[in-house]
Amino acid sequence: MNALLKLSRRIDALTERVGQAALWLVLVVVLISAANAMMRYTINYSSNAFLEIQWYLFGMIFLSCGGYTFMRNEHVRIDLISGRLSKRGQTWIDIFGILFFLMPMAIAIMVLSWPVFIHAIESSEMSNSAGGLIVWPARLMIPAGFLLLIVQAISELIKRVGFLRGLCPDPTEKLNALSDEEELALAIKAQKGEAQ
Amino acid sequence: MSEFLIANMAPIIFASMIIFLLVGFPVAFALAANGVVFGLLGIELGLLGPQLFQALPDRIFGVMANETLLAVPFFTFMGLILERSGMAEDLLDTIGQLFGPIRGGLAYAVIFVGALLAATTGVVAASVISMGLISLPIMLHYGYDKRLAAGVIAASGTLAQIIPPSLVLIVMADQLGKSVGDMYAGAFIPGMVLTSLYVGYVILVSIFKPKWVPALPLEARSLRGAALALRVLTTLVPPLTLIFLVLGTIFLGIATPTEGGAMGATGALIMALVRRRMSLSLLKQAMEKTAKLTTFVLFILIGARVFSLTFYGVDGHLWVEHLLTTLPGGQIGFLIVVNLLVFVLAFFLDYFELAFIIVPLLGPVAEKMGIDLIWFGVLLGVNMQTSFLHPPFGFALFFLRSVAPASVKSSDIYWGAIPFVCVQVIMVALIIIFPQMVTVGLDKPSTVDVNSIQIELPETNYDEPAEEPGSPPEPVSNGNRG
């Protein structure tokens, strides 16, 4: 079990790194899109490569952050029922969900999308629009993103089993220390304090 | 047993979807799992072809290549940067001083600022929290009724859901296969009308319960005369600039909604830099929240696509269509049932789930009944906006609770929200009675669209076979526009 917990920590570190890197794509894609709109309007220049890179990056953001968001426990849940259960009960739900909900669908998507990527490489598939980009990087993102999600799910599974056996702290606890809203409230209060 | 299964596959899948969701595991994965499990069962029973899941990679690819939804991270990022840039605080302070000395003035200021913020950021949490922290204490200090103060703040915060550029409208347009620009144009007047209804309610209160909304003494103003006028003008510059950057460029046809979002986000960044409110940690925080929100939204959509692959495969959409078209009362019967359904579901589901699961099922039926889809989308948008105000689960109430002083009880917030929920219901009825509110804004842009679509159609031919109607491949048409 200890070896598994160690593995889980490794996975978490990897996911953290991927997530932290992918964050910057948000800024990049915002700037590209704004520049694109501005250039088209001012100097009447536009290219399909410019437009396509935007959704490549968009896909990269959400596919590479799938595992990261799962680690942060921020995929939306309906906690109408589970919210009334004990911490252990919720942990059991997660274990069940990872094994029977997440894993089958993530593995199915990863396995099915791999040949599509291979085909795109072998046929050097290009986007259909003039001046568009080569397609395989976008095709690769799907199996890669779901692989990251699967790997993170393994780590979450280990942590939850560890929690049930009393070997590690509740994996969801420390993340909920301060919600986004509480953080915003603190920031506004601080600003008000400055102003007075 | 298997005969029963085959005959009732669609209702069984639908019912089990609800159970899967209620288990409490993330919605995105539960939805997708539901699709996979019943897909396998359907193949086993011979209902579905064995090649069913081959379409999965293409479906996800379609989600990625969806230029419309790219607007989601843009507007989210813009809102997150703005919430720290001090714009809301300045507006509330200044407009509050301007209106304060009238009876009900602070409430009007909250509504006015709520609408202005809605037209820039579109983030409910940010509006409610700023107003809850800045306006609520002042309102309570000068003797406003707690319930009214709480209600008006929560309700004005939810205006962000319906006044363009809201995320709800983007997602709605995407799911109904309409352009976001049209959806914005259609929602514009209803948004204004709804704002006026809030104002109307406060006017009624100030007539019949003047003690609930006292006028502030003139001494409460720290600025007056020309200084106040100047201050009002300068505080209005940033939001109006942003409104122009975003909505102006979209309505004038200079930018697509996606680009409008990017320009707004860039504008917000510049504004935060100018005001010296920008720091690396703030930037990272905003990027992280944007990435996480985009991820969970898009994963719900992926889940919904996997679910619909199976559900449509067993003709579930025909089952839903049959259920809804056989309702008594034709169009009106359909609209009443659908609105009640959404109203009730909104207690449990948030709007992303509603938009991705329910709306694609309702849209085609509405279209067959001859209902304008933009109008339908705006109608559902107002209805879903109400879900933010439902006691006790409404998010707006929850956000307000988190910042309201202890003297305001949770029950005060709930009771305060109820009149505004009623206003919302009236608004839904008004949109049904006067559909012109939505359609008036549409006449001009739609003719332009028809022309441009005809020219560009041959080139927009991706080799994606099984695209759903929700996501027309757009990039090429934009490139040609300049």
pLDDT at A195: 52
DSSP, residue by residue, chain A? -HHHHHHHHHHHHHHHHHHHHHHHHHHHHHHHHHHHHHHHHHT----HHHHHHHHHHHHHHHHHTHHHHHHTT-S----TTGGGS-HHHHHHHHHHHIIIIIHHHHHHHHHHHHHHHHHHHHTT-B-SSTT--BSHHHHHHHHHHHHHHHHHHHHHHHHHHHHHTTSS--TTTGGGSS-HHHHHHHHHHHHHHHH-
Q: Supply the ipTM of this predicted assembly.
A: 0.92
Interchain CB distance below 8 Å, A75 and B29: yes
pLDDT digits (tens, 9 = 90+) for B215-274: 988 877 777 788 888 888 888 888 888 888 888 888 888 888 888 999 999 999 998 898
Q: For residues A119 and A59, give the distance between their C-alpha atoms in angstroms, rounded to a whole number.
A: 19
Residues of A in contact with B83 (CB under 8 A): 184
Min Cα separation B85/chain A (Å): 10
Interchain CB distance below 8 Å, A188 and B134: yes
Asked whether residue A150 carries a pLDDT value surpassing 50, the answer given is yes
Question: Which two tokens mark B225?
Answer: 């005369």
- Compute the mean pLDDT over every residue in chain A, rounded to the nearest whole number: 87
Beta bridge partners of A134: A126
Which residues have C-beta within 8 Å of that of residue B34, sequence separation ≥ 6?
B13, B16, B17, B20, B307, B310
Q: For residues B366 and B75, give the distance between their C-alpha atoms in angstroms, rounded to a whole number.
A: 29
Widest pairwise Cα distance in chain B: 81
Cβ-based contacts under 8 A for chains A and B: 256
Any idea where the domains of chain B sit in the sequence?
Answer: 2-64, 69-439
Interchain CB distance below 8 Å, B84 and A83: no
DSSP, residue by residue, B146-169? HHHHHHHHHHHHHGGGTSSS-HHH
DSSP single-letter state for residue B228: H
Interchain CB distance below 8 Å, B133 and A29: no
pLDDT at B209: 92
Beta bridge partners of A126: A134
pLDDT band, very low/low/confident/very high, at A178 (cuts 50, 70, 90): low
3-state secondary structure of B313: helix
B405–chain A Cβ distance below 8 A for any pair = no
Angle (CA) A123 A125 A126, round 5°: 150
Indicate the burial class of B415 (C-beta count within 10 angstroms; 0-12, 13-18, 19 or more): middle
Average pLDDT of span A185-192: 76
A172–chain B Cβ distance below 8 A for any pair = no
Q: In chain B, which stretches have pLDDT less than 70?
A: 1, 121-122, 443-482
Q: For residues B148 and B132, give the distance between their C-alpha atoms in angstroms, rounded to a whole number.
A: 13
Nearest CA in chain B to A90: B24
Measure CA B261 to chain center: 15
Nearest CA in chain A to B75: A30
DSSP single-letter state for residue B247: I
Min Cα separation A117/chain B (Å): 10
3-state secondary structure of B404: coil
Q: For residues A126 and A139, give the distance between their C-alpha atoms in angstroms, rounded to a whole number.
A: 11
pLDDT at B249: 85
**Touching B: A residues 36-65, CB under 8 Å:** 36-38, 40-41, 44-48, 51-52, 54-55, 58-59, 61-63, 65
B309: left (phi over 0), alpha (psi -120 to 50) or beta: alpha
**Touching B: A residues 112-171, CB under 8 Å:** 112-113, 116, 128-130, 138-139, 141-142
DSSP, residue by residue, A104-142? HHHHHHHHHHHHHHHHHHHTT-B-SSTT--BSHHHHHHH
Interchain CB distance below 8 Å, A112 and B23: no
DSSP single-letter state for residue B255: S
Any idea where the domains of chain A sit in the sequence?
Answer: 2-74+84-170
Residue A75 has its nearest CB partner, among B28, B66, B289, at: B28
Interchain CB distance below 8 Å, B402 and A63: no
**Number of other CB atoms surrounding residue B348 within 10 Å:** 16
Indicate the burial class of B434 (C-beta count within 10 angstroms; 0-12, 13-18, 19 or more): middle
Residue B32 has its nearest CB partner, among A22, A41, A105, at: A105
What's phi and psi for A134, nearest 5 deg? -75, 145
Residue A105 has its nearest CB partner, among B33, B69, B476, at: B33
Interchain CB distance below 8 Å, A30 and B57: no
Query: For chain B, first and last CA: distance in Å?
Result: 61
Cα–Cα distances in angstroms (integers) from residue B121 to residues B99, B166, B169, B232, B399, in the given order: 23, 8, 13, 20, 17
pLDDT at B252: 85
Interchain CB distance below 8 Å, A41 and B255: yes
Q: Which position has the higher pLDDT, B22 or A130?
A: B22
DSSP single-letter state for residue B299: H
Residue A51 has its nearest CB partner, among B64, B265, B479, at: B479
Question: Which two tokens mark A38?
Answer: 């501005």
Residue A23 has its nearest CB partner, among B288, B353, B402, at: B288
Interchain CB distance below 8 Å, B290 and A26: yes
Interchain CB distance below 8 Å, A76 and B263: no
pLDDT at B327: 85
Nearest CA in chain B to A47: B479
pLDDT at B446: 43
DSSP single-letter state for residue B473: -
Indicate the burial class of B402 (C-beta count within 10 angstroms; 0-12, 13-18, 19 or more): middle
Of A15, A16, A31, A33, which to mutate for an interface test with B (greatest number of B Cβ within 10 Å)? A33
pLDDT at A190: 75
B266–chain A Cβ distance below 8 A for any pair = yes
pLDDT at A144: 96
Q: 């094994």: which residue's tokens? A: A99
Interchain CB distance below 8 Å, A129 and B476: yes
**Touching B: A residues 71-100, CB under 8 Å:** 72, 74-83, 85, 90, 93-94, 96-97, 100
Q: Which amino acid is at B280?
A: L
Min Cα separation A160/chain B (Å): 14
Residues of chain A above pLDDT 90, percent: 56
pLDDT digits (tens, 9 = 90+) for A14-54: 999 999 999 999 999 999 999 988 888 788 777 788 888 99
